[in-house]
């Protein structure tokens, strides 16, 4: 059996469901998301799974096992997208899981334990500015205050849930108990270049990196561009430039540590005025929290030294904090063994991007399969995974499922 052509056909069908003509945009709790859920729910039922929508808007397809009442193996990803997205980020994991579970049941009969294919709601955070909403609700880690968060049109998460036919007051009912889950498995495009550089179609994830995001302000003194001597300036933008280079230097010195300044602005913002204020962001990630926090301390110390030397005032506000999620050693060994059995070298690599597994890790052991994507490009219409690589990922997943059926992780 070849999986990839059918998976690709379904990816193409999903990509037609978009809020934007000529571009793929499908945000959570939207009419487009409802249409996507209906389509995927039909495919779940064709495969013999019982499909339902939980209280957070997660679409769940369940196949009962031979031993009722025991924990369930969850395989998941998401169907929502960023704006002007590619078609593989998220849906590839859901549709590969569905294809593999359908083949597994058709060929081997009912598994010894229940299996659920889950399409989590709002992984991307595109609409309400907060990621992993569905999987955090699933894990019982969603802050109810988030129900007041609003989208660009001023619609709150609570209002969007009601419009979607759900009761925001019951969102807590989406939470699963830790004993409910046997484990969690997720397949995803890599969204980076490491598999392509290694010449490999698939890899196994070692950990999902934690992330810290900061909003930084440097204040100096605005002045006339032509009359203030260079030696006497308190140029906030020049200080910010030095701070950015300090981030780059620290992160280049350590493998798997990445730091990005993605936003920067100078005020008052006139061509003939020395910037009196500069604001910039920092996104810092590493697969181990200790390494990330140590790097953060070094970076902030460097910033303080730069500000002091230049006569600038420094203010730092933390806007996001997410701990790293280590993948379970035993589940990861099962994935690695499946990769080797399929004839591929085993590459272990961290995920710098966040995934639903970060939230589910609070409930159960997790593992992830990465599939090579061309150029490492993601969140972009050019996002692409070949049929050969999709096939490799599906076969690794199915082999992993069969191995877990023989020796479940407890």
Domain boundaries, the chain: 4-209+324-406, 215-322
Retrieve residue 82's tokens.
């960023």
CATH number for the 215-322 domain, one of 3.30.70.360, 3.30.1370.60, 3.30.43.10, 3.10.129.10? Answer: 3.30.70.360
Q: In CATH, what number does 4-209+324-406 get?
A: 3.40.630.10
Measured distance CA(203)–CA(138) in Å, rounded: 26
Query: Radius of gyration (Cα) for the chain, nearest Å?
Result: 23
DSSP letters along 112-127, please?
SSEEEEEEES-SS-TT
Tens digit of each residue's pLDDT (9 = 90 or more) over 280-302: 999 999 999 999 999 999 999 99
CA atoms within 13 A on the CB side of 304: 7
Tens digit of each residue's pLDDT (9 = 90 or more) over 195-253: 999 999 999 999 999 999 999 999 999 999 999 999 989 999 999 999 999 999 999 99
First and final CA of the chain: distance in angstroms? 31
Across the range 336-359, mean pLDDT stands at 96
Retrieve residue 312's tokens.
């600038």
DSSP letters along 237-257, please?
HHHHHHHHHHHHHHHHTSTT-
Question: Is the confidence at residue 410, as pLDDT, over 60?
Answer: no
Give the whole-number percent of the chain exceeding pLDDT 70: 99
Tens digit of each residue's pLDDT (9 = 90 or more) over 143-171: 999 999 999 999 999 999 999 999 999 99
Distance of CA 360 to the CA centre of its chain: 12
Across the range 97-101, mean pLDDT stands at 98
């Amino acid at each position: 059996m070849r999986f990839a052509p059918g998976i690709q056909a379904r990816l193409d069908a999903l990509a037609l469901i978009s809020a934007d003509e000529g571009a793929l945009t499908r945000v959570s709790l939207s009419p487009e998301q409802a249409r996507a859920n209906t389509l995927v729910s039909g495919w779940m039922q064709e495969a013999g799974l019982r499909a339902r929508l939980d209280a957070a808007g997660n679409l769940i397809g369940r196949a009962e096992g031979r031993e009722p009442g025991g924990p369930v193996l969850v395989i998941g990803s998401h169907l929502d997208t960023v704006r002007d997205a590619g078609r593989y980020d998220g849906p590839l994991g859901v549709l590969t899981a569905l294809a593999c579970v359908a083949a597994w049941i058709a060929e081997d009969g009912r598994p010894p334990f229940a299996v659920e294919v889950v399409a989590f709601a709002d992984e991307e955070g595109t609409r309400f500015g907060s990621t992993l909403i569905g999987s955090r609700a699933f894990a019982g880690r969603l802050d109810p205050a988030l129900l007041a968060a609003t989208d660009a049109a001023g619609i709150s998460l609570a209002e969007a849930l009601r419009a979607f036919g759900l009761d925001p007051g019951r969102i807590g009912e989406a939470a699963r108990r830790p004993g409910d889950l046997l484990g969690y498995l997720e397949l995803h495009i890599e969204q980076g270049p490491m598999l392509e550089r290694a010449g490999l179609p698939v890899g196994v994830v070692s950990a999902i990196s934690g992330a810290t995001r900061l909003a930084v302000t440097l204040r100096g003194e605005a002045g006339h561009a032509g009359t203030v001597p260079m030696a006497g300036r308190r140029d906030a933008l020049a200080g910010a430039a030095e701070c950015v280079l300090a981030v780059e230097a620290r992160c280049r010195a350590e493998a798997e540590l990445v730091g990005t300044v993605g936003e920067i602005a100078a005020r008052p913002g006139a061509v003939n005025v020395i910037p009196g204020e500069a604001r910039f962001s920092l996104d810092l990630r590493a697969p181990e929290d200790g390494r990330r926090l140590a790097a953060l301390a070094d970076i902030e110390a460097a910033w303080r030294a730069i500000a002091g030397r230049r006569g600038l005032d420094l203010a730092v506000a933390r806007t996001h904090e997410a701990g790293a999620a280590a993948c379970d050693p035993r589940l990861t060994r099962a994935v690695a063994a499946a990769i080797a059995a399929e004839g591929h070298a085993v590459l272990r690599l961290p995920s710098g991007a966040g995934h639903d597994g970060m939230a589910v890790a609070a409930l159960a052991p997790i593992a992830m399969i990465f599939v090579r994507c061309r150029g490492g490009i993601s969140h972009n219409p050019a996002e692409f995974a070949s049929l050969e690589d999709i096939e490799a990922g599906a076969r690794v997943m199915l082999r992993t499922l069969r191995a877990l059926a023989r020796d479940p992780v407890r």
